[in-house]
Amino acid sequence: MMTRQFVVTGHDLSHVWAVAFLEAWRPRKIDMAPLVVTVTGLGEEDDPSENGTIRKAVDDSLLSLGTGLSVNRVAGTIFPASLWNPHRPRRELFDRFDRIWRKVKKCPANRRGHYFRRLTQFGDGRHPNQLEYIIKTYRGKNHRRSALQAALLDPALDHTDSRQQGFPCLQQVAFTPLGGGEMCVTGFYGMQYLFERAYGNYLGLCRLGRFMAHEMGLKLTRMTCIASAGTLCGGKVRMRDLAPMAGVVEDALPNGVTVAPSGVGCSPGPRVQTMWMS
């Protein structure tokens, strides 16, 4: 199979996810490796712009196909937005998560770990809260970019000979000041399932970035997610199972958003830009 980089950029999270999903869903002999998705135009106070029809189609399909997932549930593994009050000290968020962790870790899906737990208590528990460190070092005038990143891969636990492991797909998150008081968040995945996980991954990264920007005194304007490989789905979900959702998603996209099957192609409008790159 031919392998090429696939890049999607746009203001609407639903639209950029939909373009990547449809490219994976259509039968092609081109593999997305890496898959690079960027959502721009983010605001400090709200979630990114979304298309309600596309979001509902994803959630309905996740439910009907028995995945046990939803967009919010996936996003919550990266950042538990319901526990955060931006008008209260951030310590309250960390304390609230600590209090519910005993229950959260009992979920079978978390048997190998949990992303927000690794961001706030890594390894054996003796390591510092990575998010707290990043906030404090930045506000202490240390703007070295290599200091403003958090690791989620734990070699002691994750380097195994298992052929399928499931967690952690998210390996690293970086919070990068852009100048002018703006910031971007970048997540790196070893593998990404576009149906089950990608939409929630993008939303979770946006929410995590908004929290960090708020605490660092910056404004989040961009989220980029880099997957070393993007694939349609995992588990027992089959390509034909996704046909009804794919039809709804394609109909909900803005007119004129297209992708060239090879070479480089861009949409004619500014909302979404896509390209295949050799």
* pLDDT reported for residue 102: 86
Residue 201: exposure state from Cβ atoms within 10 A (0-12, 13-18, ≥19): buried
> What CA–CA distance (Å, rounded) separates 208 from 34?
23
Q: How confident is the model at residue 31 (pLDDT cuts 50, 70, 90)?
A: confident
Where is pLDDT greater, at 221 or 112? 221
**Helices then strands, each counted (H, E), the chain:** 9, 9
Considering the entire predicted model, what is its pTM? 0.90
Minimum mean pLDDT range among 136-150, 169-183, 228-242: 228-242
Cα distances from 264 to residues 115, 145, 273, in angstroms, run 35, 32, 11
Domain spanning 2-277, CATH architecture: 2-Layer Sandwich (3.30)
> Are the C-beta atoms of 156 and 130 separated by less than 8 Å?
no
> Are the C-beta atoms of 278 and 22 separated by less than 8 Å?
no
DSSP-derived secondary structure letter, 162: -
> What CA–CA distance (Å, rounded) separates 43 from 135?
19
Choose among 225, 238, 250: nearest CA to 21.
250
Question: So where are the chain's domains?
Answer: 2-277
User: Which residues does residue 30 pair with via DSSP β-bridges, in sequence order?
Assistant: 2
> What CA–CA distance (Å, rounded) separates 204 from 221?
15
Number of Cβ within 10 Å of residue 99's Cβ equals: 10
Q: How confident is the model at residue 26 (pLDDT cuts 50, 70, 90)?
A: confident
Residue 110, sorted as left (phi over 0), alpha (psi -120 to 50) or beta, turns out to be alpha
Q: How confident is the model at residue 125 (pLDDT cuts 50, 70, 90)?
A: low
